[in-house]
A and B are shown apart, each in its own frame.
Chain A
């Protein structure tokens, strides 16, 4: 019940295309859903996050779509660029216990020039 399932494991997208990464969760107590971006040799960096009281959040080319009834959320990267090539982790936690972040398994994204 504490798991966050992430797919796909790897993704190749042409430059300018849309990258889509999906996550699903079971624990309805989760109320905070961050996405982290990690480049090789670096620590994960907080990219964008959403709370379940909204269905979508957009920051630049990055959009989180959230479906509370389906317990699913996804990251969309519009106009994907080679610099977006990285590993992306979805995650979930409760606001009251943000320390207990549950991470997805990660998606290795490659953007072909």
Chain B
């Protein structure tokens, strides 16, 4: 498994501002992911962050709105830019641990409220 931490755990932000969320894992991993989970909803993949290359974004998500950094094998950041109330959500990072099943493990999430 993997131990994943996220900062901040929650934040309340004003419309039009940006917030950077940090994700730290206790071991080196190749694949890191960012998800969004709106209240009471399932998880939606935003992008895949590979070290040394540009993040790969899913349909409906763009780099200008959700820039991602992946400077090394244990750390990644997701920025939510020019926020609006519709961005209020839980943002989760996850990592893939290679093995027989290539399992994904999730961080505790960052609860974002945009006023």
Contacts and interface: CB of A to CB of B under 8 A. Distances in A.
B62 interface: no
Contacts of B53: none
B30 to A, nearest CB: 10
B96 A99 contact: yes
Nearest to A45: B106
- DSSP majority for the A interface? strand
- DSSP majority for the B interface? strand
A43 B92 contact: yes
A98 B42 contact: no
Contacts of B31: 99
The 6 nearest A-B residue pairs measured at CB: A98-B102, A43-B106, A103-B42, A43-B108, A103-B43, A44-B106
Interface of B: 1, 4, 31, 33, 41-43, 45, 48, 92, 94, 96, 101-109, 111
